């Protein structure tokens, strides 16, 4: 139908078999149809309907991709992706001249492994004491008695080599989600085995900070919450027979006790090649055709923990499927990137440049050629289907001796993942240290330009591509929006090291190098960026710091409820004073996000959220300015500056997946300067704050995949 609707005549037509093999060949071949303006037909067999269409279009030549399809008239059967690549290159060079765009993708992401068996587990309804500091005495009592937490355990069946674990923790009291920022979360989740390293016992199953606020809520057509839940998926290798334990909790700002329930599904997979961002390869052909480029697509690109992923000692690496939470995989993972992707990519680049890499100075000639004539290399896929190299780093080293790693380090993720290597022609083969040089330059140097399309799914990435292709057409309709820039700078990024308070900080378990105490540095930096960077570029700049930078605040009704929580609260909760800092008319974050073409956001964060408020909130809600001042300067010495009676009042305004995905953002460029927000490897896509921003409309995002070296992240 589509072929007949858009074509009256066509001398040729590619025909793709509607199966895995046909799709694998079809992805790199489809741009050819665009370049020749001919239709592509997908089918299981050349039946009467297909031949009728081909006759009607006057097709004389067919290009068959797939083993089981018969031909039609003059037929060319293609069964090798290298042949397709060569045909595409020849066609493009004849039609357009030089090729300056390559898309890397993996067709395997559209074909999830079969589920061979499954095991379901469900908990009772847990009632736990709220962890929220809005009722501080209640929370402290719960911590002292153990009532704040609940434990849930389950087992991986013995014969499950590749186990996909789907975790759902439901918040059964979701009334305060939009009003107060209530949520449920995981404190720790690891293997229940004393013989395993302690970090695996606390964090193998779940990253640090996974919570329902890091998962999109299920809502009705009016936006009302139907279900607030934490949902996560984890792939485990060779853990058959292992028992796992989760410690869960909830924060309800106006409830002393809240209810949760856990559901776990464990699927037995036929193989580990389970794409987190499913089907992204399906978007690669039209992006590539628009850019007049070629697609380099191979199932071999994928890397997951399996029997072939071995340490230097030749040992397998049971556990988490991705290297940053299974550092024993580092050697196998990074050598896979060098051997299976970088080396073939260099061979392709050499073919395009007509350079013989077998010659003595072939690599140098290749490096020099692309230094003078850089091209674009775009990756379309998640960080396992087209893996990033993971460099070692001193802050979170890739230790094969896992006993040296803390649970927090493992939860956050080890090493420094990067796509840099795909633009670097001459890295020293096999060197992924943090001091790695290039072959012909002392410092690593990127000859070609690299970017990655990533998203929740193919629909999100398709929308992002459309925003990119029609970017200037969209801008014309947005009027003055294109001239606006937003600066949001979070609190808690000023540091001092006063001797007595720093000593107290160290004694209470803080391992940081300084204490979060105000100096004015953050505000000065914000004003400097506004005056010396953005305004000279012609932007009308809106800037907000700390409380004012929050995404949202409490309504009048919410503040009244907080004041009436107890008799003590009626005397100590100064509503108007609190409203000056966290009232809904104070927070400007949402307005800035939705109305800015360029965004610079600086805050403390994790893969699932970032928050704008720092220690200045710690004493809020207990009397007035004197308590607030003292708490900011004393309590900031404890727990990295995240402990205090006012701590719970920041949840309503944090930029978290649950709230950010509902923003109505334009095709903005955003620089997110925060720990870990750009981490996508080993992260379930709908738990990623970066991907939530792209889902909301952001068009280009720059964000760190690691934690920073400043105190508190």
pLDDT in tens, 430-477: 999 989 999 999 999 999 999 999 999 999 999 999 999 999 999 999
Contact between 109 and 278 (Cβ < 8 Å): yes
Q: Give, to the nearest 10 degrees, the angle between helix 20-36 and helix 81-96.
A: 10
Task: Give 566-620 as a DSSP string.
Answer: -HHHHHHB-HHHHHHHHBTTT--HHHHHHT-SEEEEE-EE-SSEEE---GGGTTT
Burial state string for 403-425 with b = 16 or more CB within 10 A and e = fewer than 16: eebebebbbbbbbbbbbbbbbbb
Please state which architecture CATH assigns to domain 115-269: Sandwich (2.60)
Distance CA 384, CA 684 (A): 12
* Residue 212 to residue 220: CA distance in whole angstroms: 17
Per DSSP, the three-state class of 404 is helix
519 pLDDT tier (thresholds 50, 70, 90): confident
pLDDT band at 377 (very low <50, low <70, confident <90, very high): very high
Torsions phi, psi for 554 (to 5 deg) = -80, 140
Q: Is the pLDDT of residue 10 over 60?
A: yes
Give CA–CA dist 247/490, Å, rounded.
Answer: 30
Strands 319-320, 162-171: parallel, antiparallel or unpaired by DSSP? unpaired
Calpha distance 434→454 (Å, rounded): 25
- Decide if 558 contacts 179 (C-beta within 8 A): yes
pLDDT higher than 90, residue 266:
yes
Distance CA 395, CA 203 (A): 18
pLDDT higher than 60, residue 285? yes
Domain boundaries, the chain: 1-80, 98-111+278-469, 115-269, 475-703
Taking only the tens place, the pLDDT of each residue in 625-634 is 998 888 888 8
- Show Cβ contacts of residue 22 under 8 Å, excluding neighbours closer than 6 positions: 16, 42, 65, 66, 69
Q: Which two tokens stand for residue 583?
A: 């009232």
CB contact at 8 A, 608 and 689: yes
**Could you give the count of Cα atoms lying within 13 Å of 471 in the half-sphere of its Cβ?**
12
What average pLDDT does this structure show over 392-414?
Answer: 85
How would residue 524 be classed by pLDDT, with cut points 50, 70 and 90?
very high
Instruction: Please give the pLDDT value at position 541.
Output: 97
The yes-or-no verdict on residue 208 having pLDDT over 70 is no
Whether this prediction's pTM lies above 0.75 is answered by yes
* CB-based contact 399:327 (threshold 8 Å): yes
Longest dimension (CA), the chain: 88
Instruction: Give every CB contact of residue 381 below 8 A, 6+ residues apart in sequence.
Output: 104, 105, 106, 109, 275, 277, 280, 281, 301, 452, 454
β-bridge mates for residue 236, sequence order: 163, 320
pLDDT confidence of residue 713: 46
End-to-end Cα distance, the chain: 55
DSSP string for residues in 682-700: TS-GGG-HHHHHHHHT--E
Bridge partner list, 153: 245
Does the domain at 1-80 match CATH 3.90.320? Answer given as no
């Amino acid at each position: 139908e589509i072929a007949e609707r858009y074509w009256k005549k066509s001398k040729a037509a590619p025909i793709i078999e509607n199966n895995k093999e046909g799709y694998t060949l079809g992805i790199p071949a489809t741009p050819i149809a665009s370049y020749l303006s001919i239709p592509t037909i997908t089918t299981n067999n050349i039946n009467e309907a297909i031949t009728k269409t081909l006759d009607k279009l006057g097709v004389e030549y067919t290009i068959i991709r797939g083993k089981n399809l018969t031909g039609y008239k003059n037929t060319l059967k293609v069964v090798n992706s290298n042949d397709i690549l060569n045909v595409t290159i020849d066609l493009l060079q004849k039609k357009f001249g030089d090729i300056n765009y390559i898309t890397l993708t993996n067709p395997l992401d559209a074909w999830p492994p079969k589920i061979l068996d499954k095991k379901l587990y469900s908990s009772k309804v847990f009632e736990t004491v709220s962890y929220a500091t809005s009722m501080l005495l209640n929370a402290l009592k719960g911590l002292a008695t153990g009532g704040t937490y609940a434990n849930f355990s389950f087992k991986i069946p013995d014969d499950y080599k590749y186990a996909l674990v789907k975790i759902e923790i439901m918040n059964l009291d979701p009334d305060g989600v939009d009003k107060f920022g209530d949520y449920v979360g995981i404190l720790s989740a690891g293997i229940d085995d004393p013989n395993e390293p302690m970090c695996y016992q606390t964090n193998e199953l779940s990253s640090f900070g996974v919570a329902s606020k890091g998962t999109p809520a299920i809502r009705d057509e009016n936006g009302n919450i139907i279900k607030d839940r934490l949902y996560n998926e984890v792939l485990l290798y060779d853990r058959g027979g292992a028992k796992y334990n989760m410690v869960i909790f909830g924060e309800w700002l106006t409830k002393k006790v809240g209810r949760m329930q856990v559901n776990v599904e464990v699927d037995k997979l036929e193989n580990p090649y389970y794409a987190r961002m499913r089907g992204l390869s399906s978007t690669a052909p039209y992006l590539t055709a628009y850019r007049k480029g070629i697609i380099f697509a191979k199932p071999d690109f994928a890397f997951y923990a399996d029997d072939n992923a071995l340490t230097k000692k030749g040992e397998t690496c049971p556990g988490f499927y991705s290297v940053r939470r299974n550092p024993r995989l580092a050697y196998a993972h990074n050598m896979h990137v060098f051997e299976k992707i970088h080396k073939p990519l260099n061979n392709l680049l050499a073919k395009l440049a007509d350079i013989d890499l077998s010659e003595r100075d072939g690599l140098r000639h290749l490096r020099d050629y692309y230094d003078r004539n850089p091209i674009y290399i775009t990756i379309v896929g998640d960080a396992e289907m087209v893996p990033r190299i993971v460099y070692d780093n001193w802050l979170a080293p890739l230790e094969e001796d896992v006993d040296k790693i803390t649970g927090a380090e493992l939860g956050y993720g080890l090493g420094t993942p990067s796509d840099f290597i795909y633009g670097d022609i001459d890295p020293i083969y096999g060197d992924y240290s943090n001091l790695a040089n290039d072959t012909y330059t002392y410092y690593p140097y990127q000859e070609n330009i690299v970017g990655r399309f990533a998203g929740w799914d193919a629909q999100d990435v398709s929308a992002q591509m459309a925003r990119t292709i029609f970017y200037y057409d969209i801008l014309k309709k947005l009027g003055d929006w294109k001239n606006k820039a937003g600066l949001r700078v979070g609190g808690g990024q000023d540091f001092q090291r006063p001797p007595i308070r720093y000593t107290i900080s160290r004694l209470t378990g803080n391992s940081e190098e300084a204490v979060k105490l105000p100096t004015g540095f953050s505000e000065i930096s914000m004003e400097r960026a506004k005056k010396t960077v953005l305004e000279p570029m012609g932007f009308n700049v809106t800037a907000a710091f700390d409380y004012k930078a929050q995404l949202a605040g409490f309504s009048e009704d919410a503040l009244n409820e907080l004041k009436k929580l107890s008799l003590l609260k009626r005397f100590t909760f100064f509503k108007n004073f609190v409203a000056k800092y966290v009232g809904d008319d104070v927070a400007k974050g949402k307005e800035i996000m939705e109305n800015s073409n360029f965004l610079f956001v600086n805050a403390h964060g994790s893969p699932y959220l970032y928050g704008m408020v720092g220690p200045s909130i710690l004493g809020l809600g207990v009397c007035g300015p004197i308590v607030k001042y003292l708490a900011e300067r004393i309590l900031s010495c404890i727990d990295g500056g995240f402990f205090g009676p006012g701590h719970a009042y920041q949840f309503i305004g944090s930029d978290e997946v649950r709230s950010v995905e509902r923003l109505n953002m334009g095709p903005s460029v955003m620089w997110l300067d925060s720990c870990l927000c750009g981490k996508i490897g080993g992260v379930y896509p709908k738990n990623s704050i970066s991907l939530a921003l792209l889902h909301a409309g952001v068009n280009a995002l720059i964000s760190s995949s690691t934690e920073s070296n400043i105190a508190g992240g």
